Structure 1
Amino acid sequence: MAKAAFSKKKTLFTSKLDLNLRKKLVKCYIWSIAQYGAETWTLRAVDQKYLESFEMWCWRRMEKISWTDYVRNEEVLIRVSEQRNILHEIRKRKANWIGHILRGNCLLKEVIKGKTEGQIEVIRRQGRRRKKMLDDLGDRRGYSHLKEKALDRIKWRNCFGRDCGPVI
């Protein structure tokens, strides 16, 4: 959907407008479509590759660089004076949303925790266990540690701020 939105407004994003203005337009209109609902995603390595390649696709289209020109991604990022940050932005959104949920007292908090009242027959699935929402935050100390940090907003922001923690 985001590629389709970019293609609809391609003349605007590849025009003679100032580069900074075009970058702001892409981040405002295109990335908001691409990241819709990102707070609830559990990203696999394949999904991360798709998002990073989409980000580079946008910058290449803005600069009118064809994939047959053999221009490295690093050079494209230098030309547009940007860094890869779509995954970082998703991680930040996710941490803010999960912190908000963990501070509250609602049913969604119980769902994220993964424990509900009553007995449910558990069918063991074959293969690797499914990735949970809290697994993306990269904190291996567990749910109780995350909940304790979430209750203190300052600790939460320090832990999941700009340069802290792994990128999903």
Structure 2
Amino acid sequence: GRCTCEIKSRIAMAKAAFTKKKNLFTSKLDLNLRKKLVKCYIWSIALYGAETWTLRAVDQKHLESFEMWCWRRMEKISWTDYVRNEEVLIRVSEQRNILHEIRKRKANWIGHVLRRNCLLKEAIEGKIDGRIEVTRRRGRRRKKMLDDLGDRRGYCHLKEKALDRIKWRNCFERDCGPVVLTDY
């Protein structure tokens, strides 16, 4: 499915929460403390339910622009100042990592689901009857929730990896480096 509407509404809620507490985030508190507050308070609102999102390139751009919006507002940088994103990231000593956070959350959630025997696992595997048979659609195939994990070897390989929790976490801690936008 498409998650664009949900992503936009979550971003709007997070921006509203940011503007409510704008005085706190733009105050003279220590920069690291303000960054932690933004990640704890604002990102938790924006990324609620992100484990189930299917991210397309448009959605990834929305999320990255939201991340930059947060850092710019925190540093009181107006869009008319023509400050490049790289410069803003240097000022707040951060990297773009909202997509990295989503990928980590998704990997943890999928690993948890694949280790259990539950209805959700059966739904992901397509074992639940009652699906309507539809003829093949034109164009590129729709991106699925598991496609974001980037394991091209398929679902069976993911399922096998998930059974060992420690290996699963190590695998995705290593693979969840800086996320590059995909063209979907």
Shared topology, TM-score over 0.5? yes
Q: Give how far 1:95 is off.
A: 0.2
For residues 28 and 119 of structure 1, the distance between their equivalents in structure 2, rounded to whole angstroms, comes to: 39
Q: Write out per-residue CA displacement over residues 11-58 of structure 1, whole angstroms, 9 at most, x where no aligned residue.
A: 111111111111111111100000010000000000000000000010
Gaps of 5+ in 2: 1-12
Q: CA deviation at 1:120?
A: 4.6
Residue 87 of structure 1 pairs with residue 105 of structure 2: no
Mapped contact 2:100–2:177 kept (Cα < 8 A): no
| Shift, 1:103, TM fit | 0.5
Q: Does 1:10 align with 2:22?
A: yes
The alpha-carbon deviation at position 164 of structure 1 amounts to 4.5
> Partners in 1 of 2:121 and 2:173 — Cα distance?
22
Structure 1: gaps spanning 5 or more residues: none
Moved more, 111-120 or 62-71: 111-120
Let me know the Cα RMSD of the aligned residues: 1.7
Count of matched residue pairs: 168
Structure 1 residue 118, shift from structure 2 partner: 6.4
Query: CA separation in 1, counterparts of 2:130 and 2:16?
Result: 46
Distance 2:167 2:71 in 1: 35
Cα 1:148–1:23 shift into 2, 3 Å: same
- Residue 162 of structure 1 and its aligned partner are, at CA, apart by 4.5
1:158 CA displacement: 1.9
Q: CA deviation at 1:99?
A: 0.3
**Equivalent residue for 1:155?**
167
SS at 1:154 equivalent: helix
1:44-101 Cα shifts (integer Å, max 9, x gaps): 0000000000000100111111111111111111111111111100000000000000
Q: How does 1:1-168 map to 2 (within 5 A)?
A: 1-117=13-129, 120-164=132-176, 167=179
For residue 56 of structure 1, give the secondary structure of its aligned residue in structure 2: helix
Q: 1:154–1:107: structure 2 CA closer, same or farther, 3 Å change rule?
A: same
Change in Cα spacing, 1:145 to 1:166, as seen in structure 2 (3 Å) is: farther
Moved more, 30-39 or 122-131: 122-131
Distance 1:115 1:46, change over 3 A: same
1:64/1:120 CA distance change after superposition, 3 Å: closer
Point out the more displaced range, 152-161 or 54-63. 152-161
TM-score (norm 1): 0.93
Moved more, 31-40 or 157-166: 157-166
TM-score (ref. length: structure 2): 0.85
Distance 1:11 1:159, change over 3 A: same
